[in-house]
């Protein structure tokens, strides 16, 4: 999705103005070092992969044009749908064409890509261009979980994707609702800390909504529902594998109870919500039809009306709830770091150093703040300096509360499962969850999934997968402390 030429120029002007407004100063900074070093490559073109759609508006209409103006290096954005990004990146590497230079990689894909030789280690570049100290400004959950494999850096965490709970402050703060809820359930109406509380609150608002208001809706569609299940399994005390035998634990008593409760939560959701994806949840939320929902960070901005008048967001329905949205951690207090992106360098590239320099500049403390405040792209705050930005806090009245919630999430978030052939395990788990949401017995479908997981592990090799699992599970965001 790209904008006409006039809009493209407006995007460049907006980016330069925003950089000035946010106090961007390149002198003696990591951003400046990257720009100065890249000038020797003026006239070159970098090919970068990016998720197609709104995500790509960042390099197409903001970062790319500004970089070209600063360095003379052109950026060619290769837009790829998210469900094809992994396979096309792997296929290009195997073909050895060198068609891609800088890569956008979902962190959960890193083990597979590193084992396949797709990603270039970045430590030498980080040290050469003095970037190691600035990496400390990246929030620990992203830095400690999404940057390294073994002892080497392979990606620069670049997107604060994490689940947040959104709730209607006008409904939760209503005195009549507070009194009625206290009488019915014996405790105060407040953002739920547990899934039992989530159920109670959802039921309260659904029962009193008369069909115009439902208590909640969640993203339960195939391809995405595993994020919610992975989060819930671990906050309930469950594990994916026995670390010694590598037997699957996704059919443990805890795992079954979690899935049964996911089915129970449907009681208080709109008809058909068992198959809802992000757009259905978002539309119902903005229309004022839900008291609570769980999503990635963008609805925090869109609910308030920030940037929705831009051409790129013309598809969004008008928010009916602006000024009445609260932000909190999901029940369990450890939100899923669902997907996200890291900036990586292709090992096949003939322009590795230049690709790294562009990644360092994009990711830098000075320039990244202009990217995460773009109204028309989907990069979310991921640095401590983002959470503390006075400019960001001034974007809408509750922005400071939004950033505080994101900072809390960046301290407690849970890393997506990331081992060898993660896709195969997630596809099996998704089939089981979807089957249970469709009415099948939770234990039966999870028993089947556990059998499939064990077969996948045997095909990969128990010892090899154990090693990958131990690398992943040793990271601070793998399981709650």
292 burial type by CB count under 10 A (0-12 exposed, 13-18 middle, 19+ buried) = buried
- Looking at the structure, do residues 280 and 139 belong to the same domain, yes or no? no
Q: What is the pLDDT of residue 150?
A: 87
Q: Which of 415, 444, 471 is the last residue of a domain?
A: 415
- Looking at the structure, do residues 359 and 329 belong to the same domain, yes or no? no
Check: CB of residue 252 under 8 Å from CB of residue 184. Answer: no
For residue 203, is it within any domain? yes
Compute CA distances 284 → 59, 165, 225, 277, 316, whole Å: 30, 15, 18, 11, 12
Number of domains observed in the structure of the chain: 3
- Looking at the structure, do residues 208 and 275 belong to the same domain, yes or no? yes
Compute CA distances 161 → 127, 297, 414, whole Å: 27, 7, 11
Q: What is the pLDDT of residue 388?
A: 97
Q: What is the pLDDT of residue 124?
A: 98
For residue 332, is it within any domain? yes
- Looking at the structure, do residues 101 and 232 belong to the same domain, yes or no? no
Q: What is the pLDDT of residue 376?
A: 85
- Looking at the structure, do residues 24 and 42 belong to the same domain, yes or no? yes
pTM of the predicted model as reported, rounded to 2 decimal places: 0.93
Q: Domain range spanning residue 357?
A: 5-157+342-378
- Looking at the structure, do residues 100 and 182 belong to the same domain, yes or no? no
For residue 173, is it within any domain? yes
For residue 388, is it within any domain? no
Q: What is the pLDDT of residue 213?
A: 98
Task: Give the integer Cα–Cα distance in Å for 90 and 118.
Answer: 7
Q: Which of 415, 438, 466 is the last residue of a domain?
A: 415
For residue 390, is it within any domain? no
Instruction: With H, G, I as helix, E, B as strand and everything else as coil, classify residue 421.
Output: coil
Place of tokens 């290096």: 73
236 burial type by CB count under 10 A (0-12 exposed, 13-18 middle, 19+ buried) = middle
- Looking at the structure, do residues 171 and 278 belong to the same domain, yes or no? yes
Q: What is the dihedral of CA 426, 430, 436, 442, to 10 degrees?
A: -10
- Looking at the structure, do residues 85 and 122 belong to the same domain, yes or no? yes
Q: Which of 388, 415, 442 is the last residue of a domain?
A: 415
For residue 400, is it within any domain? no
- Looking at the structure, do residues 132 and 224 belong to the same domain, yes or no? no
Instruction: With H, G, I as helix, E, B as strand and everything else as coil, classify residue 213.
Output: coil
Q: What is the dihedral of CA 462, 466, 468, 474, to 10 degrees?
A: 170
- Looking at the structure, do residues 70 and 205 belong to the same domain, yes or no? no
For residue 396, is it within any domain? no
- Looking at the structure, do residues 212 and 223 belong to the same domain, yes or no? no
User: What pLDDT tens digit does each residue of the chain (481 aa) get?
Assistant: 233 333 333 444 444 444 444 444 444 799 999 999 999 999 999 999 999 999 999 999 999 999 999 999 999 999 999 999 999 999 999 999 999 999 999 999 999 999 999 999 999 999 999 999 999 999 999 999 999 998 899 999 999 999 999 999 999 999 999 999 999 999 999 999 999 999 999 999 999 998 999 999 999 999 999 999 999 999 999 999 999 999 999 999 999 999 999 999 999 999 999 999 999 999 999 999 999 999 999 999 999 999 999 999 999 999 999 999 999 999 999 999 999 999 999 999 999 999 999 999 999 999 999 999 998 889 999 999 999 999 999 999 999 999 999 999 999 999 999 999 999 999 999 999 999 999 999 999 999 999 999 999 999 999 999 999 999 999 999 999 8
- Looking at the structure, do residues 121 and 145 belong to the same domain, yes or no? yes
């Amino acid at each position: 999705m790209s904008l006409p030429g006039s809009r493209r120029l407006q995007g460049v002007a907006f980016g330069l103005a925003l950089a000035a407004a946010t106090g961007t100063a390149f002198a003696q900074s990591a951003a400046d070092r990257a720009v100065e070093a890249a000038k020797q490559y003026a006239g070159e073109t970098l090919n970068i992969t990016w998720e197609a759609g709104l995500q790509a508006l960042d390099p197409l209409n903001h970062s790319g044009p500004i970089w070209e103006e600063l360095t003379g290096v052109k950026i060619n954005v290769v837009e790829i749908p998210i469900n094809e990004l992994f396979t096309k990146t792997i296929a290009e590497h195997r073909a050895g064409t060198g068609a891609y230079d800088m890569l956008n990689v979902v962190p959960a894909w890193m083990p597979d890509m590193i084992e396949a030789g797709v990603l270039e280690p970045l430590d030498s570049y980080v040290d050469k261009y003095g970037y190691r100290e600035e990496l400390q400004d990246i929030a620990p959950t992203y830095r400690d979980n999404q940057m390294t494999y073994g002892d080497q850096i392979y990606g620069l965490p670049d997107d604060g994707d994490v689940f947040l709970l959104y709730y209607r402050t006008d409904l939760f703060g209503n005195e009549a609702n507070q009194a009625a809820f206290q009488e019915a359930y014996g405790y105060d109406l407040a953002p739920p800390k547990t899934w039992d509380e989530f159920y109670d609150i959802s039921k309260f608002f659904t029962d009193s909504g008369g069909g115009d208001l439902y208590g909640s809706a969640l993203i339960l569609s195939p391809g995405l529902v595993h994020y919610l299940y992975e989060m819930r399994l671990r906050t309930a005390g469950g594990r994916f594998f026995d670390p010694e035998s590598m037997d699957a634990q996704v059919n443990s008593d805890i795992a079954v109870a979690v899935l049964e409760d996911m089915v129970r939560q449907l009681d208080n959701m709109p008809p058909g919500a068992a198959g809802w994806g992000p757009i259905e949840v978002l539309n119902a939320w903005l229309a004022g039809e839900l008291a609570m929902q769980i999503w990635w960070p963008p609805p925090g901005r869109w609910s308030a009306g920030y940037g929705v008048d831009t051409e790129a967001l013309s598809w969004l329905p008008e928010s009916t709830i602006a000024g009445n949205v609260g932000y909190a951690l999901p029940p369990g207090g450890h939100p899923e770091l669902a997907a996200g992106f890291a900036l990586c360098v292709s090992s096949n590239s003939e322009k590795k150093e230049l690709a790294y320099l562009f990644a360092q500049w994009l990711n830098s403390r000075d320039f990244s703040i202009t990217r995460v405040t773009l109204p028309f792209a989907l990069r979310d705050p991921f640095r401590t300096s983002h959470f503390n930005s006075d400019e960001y806090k001034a974007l809408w009245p509750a922005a400071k509360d939004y950033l505080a919630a994101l900072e809390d999430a960046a301290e407690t978030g849970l890393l997506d499962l990331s081992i060898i052939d993660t896709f195969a395990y997630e596809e099996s788990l998704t089939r089981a969850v979807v089957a249970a949401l469709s009415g099948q017995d939770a234990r039966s479908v999870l028993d089947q999934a556990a059998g499939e997981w064990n077969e996948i592990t045997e095909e990969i090799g128990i010892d090899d997968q154990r090693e990958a699992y131990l690398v992943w599970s040793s990271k601070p965001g793998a399981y709650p402390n």
